[in-house]
Amino acid sequence: MQINGVTIDDSFAEAFPMKATRLVITAHTPTWARHAAVAATGFATSVIACGCEAGIERELRADETPDGRPGVAVLLFSMSGKELAKQVERRVGQCVLTCPTTAVYAGLSDGEPIALGKNLRFFGDGWQIAKMIGGVRYWRVPVMDGEFVAQETTAVTKGVGGGNLLLLAHDTDAALAGAEAAVAAMRAVPNIILPFPGGVVRSGSKVGSKYAALPASTNDAFCPALLGLAARSELSEEIRCVLEIVIDGLTEGDVAAAMRAGMHAITAAGSAAGVQRISAGNYGGKLGPFHFHLRRLLGSEVAS
């Protein structure tokens, strides 16, 4: 089944439940808010080794933030609320508290509360001050450029991790161009992040390995260098590069919307742009309960 010459595989992306929170980081200028957000979401591509998956959701205007300053919304996802709480405290303490002029606020109001400024206030060494506004507690911590303001808690909600698209292309240039177009379209969708560098991952994985100590290993079925060598390959001779886009979202609908937007960007360019097929990674339905069937996401737009 094809759209503009791009084959849409009869496959599905398999995703799994996660815990999630949103933080709003503000600063004196958009540049410093972004510096803090980039640092706070660093080394957060996969829960396999990073503890959480995190990324910038979007930049915020001054009229969209609690303190009327420019800001950035970030989303963080982990496999448990306990691990997420640990990651939030460490990342805010090391990357937001340290960044000039910043403040941090909860970006979600509904859900189980976890510490945001509640423990970081102790950095104030007794000089910290609590402030209640509208029934919400904030902490003011003296620092060398003035005060660091942090809401006491943020909320943890259910999330969905592991939505994905596999882009199969003639060569590296075509795969990168297609991936960049898809990423740009997906980042316009609210409530999602693409946690890998530039939103794209080249080291797609499968569950398990021939080495007992590894929980995941290279997705050999989609490695062009292993065509004719691996026991099972999903590739043909003309496919020389495969790139993956992984999506985490606050809801199943958010992930579906992002995947749909990414596929629209690829199919709008057509196969002449170089991406020949769109596929997805799954594990036969054994990894997670959320199944995003590619053809169903595109619905009536798919033609034989």
In sequence order, which ranges of the chain are alpha helices (DSSP H)?
30-40, 81-95, 172-186, 252-269, 294-298
Q: Number of helices (H) and strands (E), helices first, in the chain?
A: 5, 17
Q: Please give the chain's pLDDT, 304 residues, in tens.
A: 999 999 999 999 999 999 999 999 999 999 999 999 999 999 999 999 999 999 999 999 999 999 999 999 999 999 999 999 999 999 999 999 999 999 999 999 999 999 999 999 999 999 999 999 999 999 999 999 999 999 999 999 999 999 999 999 999 999 999 999 999 999 999 999 999 999 999 999 988 899 999 988 999 999 999 999 988 899 999 999 999 999 999 999 999 999 999 999 999 999 999 999 999 999 888 789 999 999 999 985 544 4
Amino acid at 156: V
**Residue ranges covered by each domain of the chain:** 2-15+159-301, 19-157
Q: What is the spatial distance between Cα 126 and Cα 144, in angstroms, rounded to a whole number?
A: 15
> Cβ contacts of residue 243 below 8 Å, gap of 6+?
166, 167, 169, 175, 176, 178, 179, 200, 201, 202
Distance of alpha carbon 130 from alpha carbon 193, whole angstroms? 32
Let me know if the fold of 2-15+159-301 is the same as that of 19-157: yes
CATH 3.40.718.10 for the 19-157 domain, yes or no: no
Rounded CA separation 148/133 (Å) = 16
Residues 181 and 43: their CA atoms lie apart, in Å, by 24
Contacts of 118 (CB under 8 A, 6+ apart): 139, 152, 153
Buried b (16+ CB within 10 A) or exposed e, 50-89: ebbbbbbbbebeeeebbeebbbbbbbbbbbebeebbbbbb
Report the top-level CATH class of 2-15+159-301.
alpha beta
DSSP 145: T
